[in-house]
Structure 1
Amino acid sequence: MKFVPCLVVFSCVFAYAYALTCYDCSSLTRGDACETSIPTNSTPTEECTDVGASCSTTSVSGVYTRTCEASCEEQDLCVGISILRVCTKKTCCSTDRCNADFDSASSVVVSFFVVVVGLVLSVVIVQRVILNARYRAENLAKKVLLFKQTSSFDDDNHVRALKSAGFDVHAILPQEFRFCNGEMIRSLLSASEEYSGIIFTSQRAVEAASEAVRDWSLVTKNLKCFVVGPATEKAARNLGFDTSGSDSGNAKALATQIISWFSSLPRPRPLIFPCADIRRDSLPDSLKAANVPLIEIVSYETKPHSQLKENVEAFYKNDATPDVVIFYSPSSVNFALPILKESEFNWRAATKFVSIGPSTTEVLIRDVPDVLTASAPNPEAVVDLLKSL
C-alpha cells in the first residue's frame, strides 16, 4: 500500500525537526517547576538528541531532579530500614515541560516511533474496515432468492450462512410432501436381516421411514446405510445409522460407491430404496446395470407448495428482480421455474442461476443456458460461489 512508505518518510522528517523541551534542574520542592528549561537538541548530554528522548523527574530522599534522558526507565524503589531507608522514584513523560512534578508527569514512556507505528496500524485497520463495509454493502445490494425445502428458514444453515456473508436473502418453499406406504415400509424393515442395506437420497425419505418405524435398533444393526448430502446424513444418523456416501455429492457418484461395496459382500442381498414419487433415474439405473438388486418403495409424494405462485409474485412485487436465484432440488426447478418464466418481470436480465448439485443442474439447464453449480451441497460452497460472482 502506497501510504505506508509515505508515513514512514513523514515520520522520519518530523522526528528530525521536532525537539522535546524538558525542565533541567534540581529542587527541594516537589511541585517547583524550576525556572530553567532546555531543549534536548541543545543540551550538553549527547544522547538527549536521540529520537524518543523523554523528560524525567527523579526523587531521591526528598531531592527532586528534573532532566531529559535518551532512555528513561521508571523506578519506585526503597532500600534499607528505619532512618537508613533510601527511596528512589522516577517518572517519565514525552511532552514539552511535562516533568514539572510527579503529578503532571506521565506514567508511561511513549517513543515517537511507537506513535508512528500506531498511526500506521490505525490506517491499516481503518482501511480494512472500509473495505469490509464496502464489500458488505455490495453484497447487501445482491438479492438472493432461494427455492429450498426446510422446516424453518430461521434455523436453516444455508440461509444463515448467506445472511452472515452479507447477502439479502429471500427464501420460498417450493413444494409440499405427503408421506405414504408406511405399512409397506414397516413390513420391509421388520425383516431387515433379509437385506444388505438401505439408501436415502433425501432428508424427506428418512423422515417418511421414521414415521413408519418406531424401533430402529435392529434395522440400524442389520443394514448398511448410504446417503447423499449432509442434511440426509444428519437425519439418518439421528435414527442410529452409521452412514456412508455423504460426501459423494450426487446420486451417480453414490451409485459408484454402492456398487464397489456390494461387489465385496460374501452374501449380497437386495437393497431397500425409499424414494419420492418424483425421482431421478440415475441411481436405480446405475445399480440395475451393475446387477445390484434394488427394492424401490415410494415413501412420500411431492407436489408444488400451495402458496408457491403467490409467494413468488409477492417477492417480485416487493423486491424487484433478484440478482441470484438458487435451486436446491430438481423438483424445486420443475415447480418454481415455470412460475418465474410466466412472471411479467424480466427474470433473465442480470440474474445468475445457481444449482446445489449436478442433478439439479441437469434439470435447470434445459431452460437456463448458463447455470452455476456449487462445488458441494453445503453452505460454505454456496457462499464461496456467490462471493466469486
Structure 2
Amino acid sequence: MISKRKALLFKTQTEQSSDKYEALLQSNQIDATTVNTLVFDFVNLDLLAKNLQNFEDYSGIIFSSPRCVNAVYLACKQFNCDLSLWRQKNNFAVGTKTAQDSLDKLRIECKGADSGSAVNLAKEIIKEKTNYRKPFLYPHGSLKTDTLTAELEKENICLDGILVYHTKENPNIEEEMKKSTQNFQNIPEFLVFFSPSGVQATLSYLSHFTDSKVIAIGPTTETALKEKNIQVSGVAKQPTPQDVLDQILQI
C-alpha cells in the first residue's frame, strides 16, 4: 500500500540529532524519514594532522564532503592542530552543507559553496588559477572520483590528496527500512536518493518500492539510478532541502 505524502530519504549517517531535510518536508506536511545508507571509518588522521601543520606548503584546502570537514576536525582535536593560518588561504568546498560545516566546525570560510558538483567547483578554482603557486590539500574518501583532480591538472593546479575515511554500506540498512515501512507494508510515495553509493546500498530492496516516485539529487545520482533501470521522476539540481521539496511538490 502506498502511503501518500510520505518520503524515505536514503542518506548517509549524520552527527546531527535533527535533519534539515526531514524538518522542512515535515513542515510542509510530508512525513519524511531518513534511512542511513552508508557509514564511515576515519583513517590517516595522524598524516592529515602533519599536513595541516605544514600549512606553508599549500595554497589552501578543498573539501569535497562534510566527512572531509569532520576528518580535519577530528585530526585537529586529536593532534592539537592550529588552523588560524589556514583561514587566510584560498579554501573551497563542494556544496552548501560542506561549506557550512567548515565554517561551523573549523571557522574556515570556503568559496564554491554554490558549485554543486566537482566540475563546477573546478571551473571556479580555475578562474583564479594565477593566484595558486602551491598545491591544494585535498582530504577525500575511499569512493572519490578523479573528476576534480583531472579538471584541475589540465590547468596545472595540483592536489595533494590524502585518504581520510572509508565508506561502507550500513549493516543495519534492512532493519531501518523495515522499521520505516512497517516491514515493507506501508510504501512511501517518494524515495529520495542522495548519492550513487546510496543507490547501490539499497538496490537489493528496491523491488518493494516499484510504485514509489524516485527523486535524485544531482545528475550523477540520476545516472546511477537510470543505469539500474530505475525510473527517475525528478532531479534536485542542488543538495538542499528546498530543492528536494520543490521536486516533490512538482511531481
Question: Fold-level match, TM-score > 0.5?
Answer: yes
Shift of 1:187: 1.4
CA contact (8 A) 1:206 1:232 kept: yes
Match of 1:269 in 2: 134
Secondary structure of 2:102's counterpart equals helix
Distance in 2 (CA, whole Å) between partners of 1:219 and 1:319 is 51
Shift of 1:212: 0.9
Secondary structure of 2:151's counterpart equals helix
CA distances 1:232-251 after superposition (whole Å, capped 9, x unpaired) = 11111121212100001111
What TM-score does the superposition give when structure 1 sets the normalisation length? 0.59
Distance in 2 (CA, whole Å) between partners of 1:362 and 1:295 is 29
Match of 2:238 in 1: 376
CA contact (8 A) 2:214 2:231 kept: no
Shift of 1:371: 4.9
Secondary structure of 2:210's counterpart equals coil
Secondary structure of 1:171's counterpart equals strand
CA contact (8 A) 1:153 1:171 kept: no
CA distances 1:332-386 after superposition (whole Å, capped 9, x unpaired) = 12212x2224x5x3x222x211112223223222112435211322111111111
Shift of 1:318: 5.4
Distance in 1 (CA, whole Å) between partners of 2:83 and 2:46 is 15
Structure with larger Rg: 1
Match of 2:146 in 1: 281
Distance in 2 (CA, whole Å) between partners of 1:209 and 1:356 is 26
Match of 1:195 in 2: 58
Secondary structure of 2:187's counterpart equals coil
Distance in 2 (CA, whole Å) between partners of 1:231 and 1:270 is 24
Match of 1:168 in 2: 31
Size of the aligned set, in residue pairs, is: 242
Match of 2:214 in 1: 353
Q: 1:371 to 1:290 in 2, by over 3 A?
A: farther
Gaps of 5+ in 1: 1-139
Choose which of 6, 21, 24 in structure 2 pairs with 1:158: 21
Choose which of 192, 195, 199 in structure 2 pairs with 1:333: 199
Shift of 1:203: 0.5
Shift of 1:281: 2.4
| CA root-mean-square deviation | 1.9
Shift of 1:171: 1.3
Match of 2:5 in 1: 142
1:257 aligns with 2:124: yes
Secondary structure of 1:142's counterpart equals strand
CA contact (8 A) 2:39 2:170 kept: yes
Q: Which has the higher contact order (CA 8 A, sep 6+)?
A: 2
Distance in 2 (CA, whole Å) between partners of 1:315 and 1:240 is 36
Q: Could you tell me which amino acid in structure 1 is paired with residue 36 of structure 2?
A: L
What TM-score does the superposition give when structure 2 sets the normalisation length? 0.89
1:247 aligns with 2:75: no
Match of 2:177 in 1: 312
Distance in 2 (CA, whole Å) between partners of 1:145 and 1:287 is 36
CA contact (8 A) 2:99 2:109 kept: no
Distance in 1 (CA, whole Å) between partners of 2:33 and 2:243 is 19
CA distances 1:251-299 after superposition (whole Å, capped 9, x unpaired) = 110111111222x21x511111101001222212211232211111111
Gaps of 5+ in 2: none
Q: Percent identity?
A: 30
Q: Could you tell me which amino acid in structure 1 is paired with residue 217 of structure 2?
A: I
1:185 aligns with 2:51: no
Which aligned pairs between 1:34-183 and structure 2 lie closer than 5 A?
141-151=4-14, 155-183=18-46
Distance in 1 (CA, whole Å) between partners of 2:149 and 2:248 is 33
1:300 aligns with 2:165: yes
CA contact (8 A) 1:200 1:226 kept: yes
Q: Could you tell me which amino acid in structure 1 is paired with residue 124 of structure 2?
A: Q
CA contact (8 A) 1:146 1:327 kept: yes
CA contact (8 A) 2:139 2:162 kept: yes
Shift of 1:154: 5.1
CA contact (8 A) 2:9 2:35 kept: yes
